[in-house]
C-alpha cells in the first residue's frame, strides 16, 4: 500500500524534476540567444563592408579586405571555442594525456606572449620553480588554458595609469597539486564582476573586448 508520506515524497520528486527541467530549458534558450548575439556582430560587420564595396561606397582596398578577414577569423575562433566548451562541459573533450613538465610549459607560454606584451607596454613575468614540475596532463590543452589566461590579461590592459602595467604568470608547487595564477596591477574586478568572470560571453568591457577580438569564451573554457 502507498502511504501519504510516499505520495508526498513522489510529488516532491516530480516538482524538483520539473523545476530542474525548466531551469535547464531556460539556460538552453539563454545560451542560444547568446550564441546568436555573438555571431550576429562579426557577420553584420563583414556583410556591411562587403555590401558597401559592392555598392561602390567603400573601395576594395587591402585595409577594407583585412577588416573583413579579421571578422571571419573572429567567427572561426568563436565557433571553435563553442565546440571546445560544449565538449568540455559534457565531459566529452578528448585528452591526450602524458607526462608534462609544467615549469617548461609556463615558461614557454610567457615567452610566446612576450612580443604582444612589449607591444602593449606591459612587463610580462613568469615565476616558476627552479626544477621541472612533472604532471600527467594534455600538453596542448594546458597551452590553450595558459594562452586564454594571458590573452585575457593583456586584452584588459589599462592605458594611462601612472605605474607600468605588469602581468605575472606564477606556477607554484603545492605538493599534491600545482597552482597557476595570473595577476596584474590593474584596477581589478568588483565583487559582482568576479562572480561573472567565468560565465560564457561575459565581458567586463564589452566594446573593448570586441575590438580586441575576444570571443568571450576563453575563461569559461579555462574553468571547464
**Which of 177, 214, 186 has the alpha carbon at shortest distance from 70?**
214
pTM of the model: 0.60
pLDDT at residue 199, as a whole number: 65
pLDDT at residue 18, as a whole number: 76
In this structure, how many other beta carbons lie within 10 angstroms of the beta carbon of residue 99?
9
Rounded Cα gap, residues 49 and 71, in angstroms: 11
Rounded Cα gap, residues 85 and 219, in angstroms: 10
Rounded Cα gap, residues 171 and 181, in angstroms: 7
Phi-psi region of 86 (alpha: psi -120 to 50; beta: other; left: phi over 0): alpha
pLDDT at residue 99, as a whole number: 94
Q: Do residues 42 and 78 lie in contact, with contact meaning Cβ atoms separated by under 8 Å?
A: yes
* Element of type H or E holding 184: strand 178-184
pLDDT at residue 148, as a whole number: 80
Q: Do residues 129 and 206 lie in contact, with contact meaning Cβ atoms separated by under 8 Å?
A: no
Rounded Cα gap, residues 73 and 32, in angstroms: 21
pLDDT at residue 7, as a whole number: 73
Q: Nearest 10 degrees: CA dihedral of 84, 105, 110, 170?
A: 100
Domains, the chain, ordered by start? 4-89 (1.10.287.130), 98-188 (3.30.565.10)
Residue-by-residue pLDDT tens, the chain, 224 positions: 455 677 777 777 777 777 767 766 665 666 666 666 667 777 888 888 888 888 888 888 888 888 888 888 878 777 777 777 777 777 777 778 899 999 999 999 999 989 888 888 888 999 999 999 998 988 888 888 888 888 878 876 665 566 678 889 999 998 888 899 888 876 666 666 655 566 666 566 554 444 444 556 666 666 65
Sign of the CA dihedral running 179, 180, 183, 189: negative
Query: Do the strands 165-173 and 122-127 form a parallel or antiparallel pair, or are they unpaired?
Result: parallel
Sign of the CA dihedral running 200, 202, 203, 209: positive
- pLDDT per residue as tens digits for the range 114-131: 988 888 888 899 999 999
Phi, psi dihedral angles at 110 (to 5 degrees): -65, -40
Amino acid at each position: 500500500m502507498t502511504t501519504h508520506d510516499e505520495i508526498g515524497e513522489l510529488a516532491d520528486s516530480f516538482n524538483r524534476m520539473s523545476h530542474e527541467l525548466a531551469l535547464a530549458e531556460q539556460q538552453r534558450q539563454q545560451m542560444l540567444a547568446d550564441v546568436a548575439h555573438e555571431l550576429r556582430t562579426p557577420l553584420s560587420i563583414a556583410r556591411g563592408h562587403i555590401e558597401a564595396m559592392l555598392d561602390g561606397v567603400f573601395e576594395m582596398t587591402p585595409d577594407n579586405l583585412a577588416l573583413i578577414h579579421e571578422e571571419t577569423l573572429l567567427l572561426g575562433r568563436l565557433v571553435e571555442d563553442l565546440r571546445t566548451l560544449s565538449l568540455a562541459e559534457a565531459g566529452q573533450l578528448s585528452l591526450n594525456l602524458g607526462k608534462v613538465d609544467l615549469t617548461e610549459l609556463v615558461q614557454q607560454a610567457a615567452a610566446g606572449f612576450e612580443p604582444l606584451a612589449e607591444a602593449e607596454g606591459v612587463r610580462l613575468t613568469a615565476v616558476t620553480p627552479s626544477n621541472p614540475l612533472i604532471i600527467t596532463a594534455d600538453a596542448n590543452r594546458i597551452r590553450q588554458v595558459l594562452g586564454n589566461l594571458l590573452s585575457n590579461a593583456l586584452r584588459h590592459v589599462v592605458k594611462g595609469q601612472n605605474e607600468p602595467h605588469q602581468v605575472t604568470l606564477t606556477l607554484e608547487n603545492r605538493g599534491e597539486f600545482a597552482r597557476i595564477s595570473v595577476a596584474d596591477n590593474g584596477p581589478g574586478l568588483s565583487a559582482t564582476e568576479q562572480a561573472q568572470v567565468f560565465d560564457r560571453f561575459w565581458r567586463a568591457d564589452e566594446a573593448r573586448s570586441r575590438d580586441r577580438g575576444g570571443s568571450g569564451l576563453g575563461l569559461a573554457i579555462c574553468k571547464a
